[in-house]
A and B are shown apart, each in its own frame.
Chain A
């Protein structure tokens, strides 16, 4: 009895316990917190259990990423009355905010099965089994916070004219001069509403923005690590949104990109499904 008590006392001392995966069950539990509305602050996650997710090389679809720059992501999740939020933290010693001609921005994404209870292939779903993906992008957050960077700001020494047809024409005609922005591609939107893109997919190569964009997010870089919160209403809004009903058991998967290491698209680190429990 005394030895058991002694062992218990010793186990409470940090570092004495045998090495094990950090706290909690093998999946992710979305703890309940007070309030309503989008959850934006990292301190909302203080009571949430940590899940440490091991990031794997992407060797399924070309182009591969055999050695991803990020090795683990620490994940916590909470929900309030009407919103869910995921906190993702990982090591990245350079904050890549800028996507320019030879650089990419940092990104992280979570995926949920569109239908709770199904297990689509972990490779962004598969034909017939859809997933919803929420992708936070540092370059979109930069657009939100300081406005889109102009060519003059990206390339101070470049020759870039100040006259643009699009500034002097009615919108319908101006669109012809605006390339992808005129075609309505969300990648090219000048007026951002969110740093997170809300997408769906049925397998690699099929990623498509959802018609309704319901997610928000914010990232903070402390010099060594990213701390990113992604938040979304609990209720599914149709159009392949995942159901995050309290009490329902579903899954969550991850992907992460370090832009300065040339990671974008399929060149990513990713992690397969882990159970996600949305606390009642």
Chain B
């Protein structure tokens, strides 16, 4: 069994294929503190790709509430239960990944969801947990409720579970951009990939009888544009770009800066071991234990860095760049209190002031002989 290096868990691990990093790796950072679950991203993706027969139940992009929402039902808690409890205080995950925990005769640890698990995409919407998450809440005093929205797409993992699980090698990872694709002519509908993806982002189509998944909007990426779900985001919570391995991080790449330099964006359930490439700024109001399980070690530090953003001009600059252009930003530059984004050719694609100009008007408008009131 080949060994590959997974920087998110800080060690080598088993994987059925030799490790190989793509020339560039599709990646994104989602700021959970900004998501309002308007579902524009979900519907943008659905309109673009999953309006066909058999695709009705699929949401290649979905937004679920945490702690009590999941699509499909219980996808994360079921796998976490199979994987078992592990402590992690440092950068190295000393538990087993889903590849290392594969039962005898299996390629990967996973499960195939029941049909009905897919039936309600937004189950648990806005259900909040109290501290300790023992039960859903109606009312509890003192007031310590929390919930947040977790927007999810295929993570185009470096070591995909779906790719490892397929006995026919019907799934491949593109060397030019790291996008993971399921060959629609090669698939025979065994659904090992549906079982093997820890994030349950491969979907079986009961009409075509093969499986499908997020394609990263690769036709858009090939033209230097961000994916549909990223472009549609009204709340500007998403920054798409390219991620480098930590030892090759570029300070002027927005995603590298957030993930490797400021370490304010974290992978989703890194303990599964697939090295997912969609990163999250953790929600600041959620208890540490929950965040440690979901985003790994360093989630608390990430929160602290994020909450100091106002005083950290470069971090504030990158955060301001979110949602500012439909083009992929390869490089950013802060000039005073304006941030610029550049595409692959070096052309400027975004120029955003970091602060709204503020004008203070006196209460009395002498010229007009009236008073200004702060009413809305």
Q: Hey, which chain B residues are within 8 Å of A102, CB to CB?
A: 112-115
Q: Mark interface residues in B331-356 (1 if CB within 8 Å of A CB, else 0).
A: 00000000000000000000000000
Interface residues in A221-280 (C-beta closer than 8 Å to B): 262, 264-266
Our pick among A63, A155, A183, A188 for the contact of B167 (Cβ within 8 Å) is A63
B104, B107, B207: residue with the most chain A Cβ atoms closer than 10 Å: B207
Tell whether, in the assembled complex, residue B112 and residue A205 are in contact, meaning their CB atoms are under 8 Å apart. no
CA–CA, A205 and B210, complex, Å: 16
- Within 8 Å of chain A (Cβ to Cβ): is B310? no
Return chain A residues, CB-CB under 8 Å to B209. Answer: 99, 139, 180, 187-188
* A100, A158, A187, A266: residue with the most chain B Cβ atoms closer than 10 Å: A187
Interface residues of B in 154-203 (CB under 8 A from A): 167-169, 184-192
Contact with B along A168-205 (1 / 0, CB 8 A): 00000000011111011101100000000000000011
- Give the residue of B53, B113, B191, B206 whose beta carbon is less than 8 angstroms from that of A264: B191
Q: Report the nearest B residue to A62, measured CB to CB.
A: B107
A161 at the interface (CB under 8 A from B): yes
- Which residues from A are CB-within-8-Å of B107? 62-63
List, in ascending order, chain A residues with CB within 8 A of B119's CB. Answer: 158
Complex Cα distance, B113 from A262, in Å, reads: 12
Stretch from B54-62, B90-98, B294-302 contacting the other chain: B54-62
Label chain A's interface by main secondary structure. loop
- B84 interfacial by beta-carbon distance below 8 Å: no
Tell me if A154 is interfacial: C-beta within 8 Å of chain B. Answer: yes
CB-based contact A158/B57 at 8 Å: yes
Interface centre among B56, B105, B169 (most CB of A within 10 A): B105
Please tell me if A146 contacts chain B, counting CB pairs below 8 Å: no
B208:A207 contact, CB within 8 angstroms? no
A101-B53 contact given A62-B167, A154-B206, CB 8 Å threshold: no
**B210 to A: closest C-beta gap in Å:** 4
Tell me, rounded to whole Å, the shortest Cβ–Cβ distance linking A113 to chain B. Answer: 22
Distance of A149 Cα from B186 Cα, bound (Å): 22
Is the C-beta of B12 less than 8 angstroms from some C-beta in chain A?
Answer: no
B188 and A101 within 8 A (CB): no
B184 touches A151 (CB 8 A): no
A200 to B206, CA, bound (A): 25
Give bound CA distance, A63 to B191, whole Å: 12
Q: Are A59 and B184 in contact (CB under 8 A)?
A: no
**Which residue in chain B gives the minimum CB-CB distance to A98?**
B206
| Complex Cα spacing A43 to B302, Å | 74
CB distance A99 to B206 under 8 Å?
Answer: yes
Say whether A91 faces chain B, with CB atoms less than 8 Å apart. Answer: no
B309 to chain A, nearest CB (A): 41
Q: Is the CB of B208 within 8 A of A179?
A: yes
On whether A101 and B204 interact (CB within 8 A), knowing A183-B184, A188-B209, A265-B188, the answer reads yes
B51 CB–A CB distance under 8 Å: yes
Q: Taking the complex as formed, is A160 at the interface, i.e. its CB lies under 8 A from any CB of chain B?
A: yes
* Interchain CB contact under 8 A, B189 and A161: no
The yes or no answer to B7 lying at the interface (CB within 8 A) is no
B101 in the interface (beta carbon within 8 A):
no
Is there a chain A Cβ closer than 8 Å to B14's Cβ?
no
CA distance A83 to B105 in the complex (A): 40
Which of A160, A161, A185, A265 contacts B190 (CB under 8 A)? A265
Contacts of A164 in B (CB 8 A): 51-53
Contact B51 A165 (CB under 8 A): yes
Please provide the chain A residues from 60 to 93 with a CB less than 8 Å away from any CB of chain B in the complex: 61-66
Contact partners of B191 in chain A: CB under 8 A: 264
Residue in contact with A64 in the complex, picked from B106, B112, B169, CB distance below 8 Å = B106
Q: Which A residues contact B (CB, under 8 angstroms)?
A: 59, 61-66, 99-103, 139, 148-151, 154-155, 158-161, 164-166, 177-181, 183-185, 187-188, 204-205, 207, 262, 264-266
User: Can you give 5 A-B contacts (C-beta < 8 A)?
Assistant: A164-B53, A179-B205, A180-B205, A180-B212, A265-B168
Known: A139-B209, A179-B207, A265-B190. 4 other contacts (CB 8 A): A59-B105, A180-B209, A187-B187, A266-B190
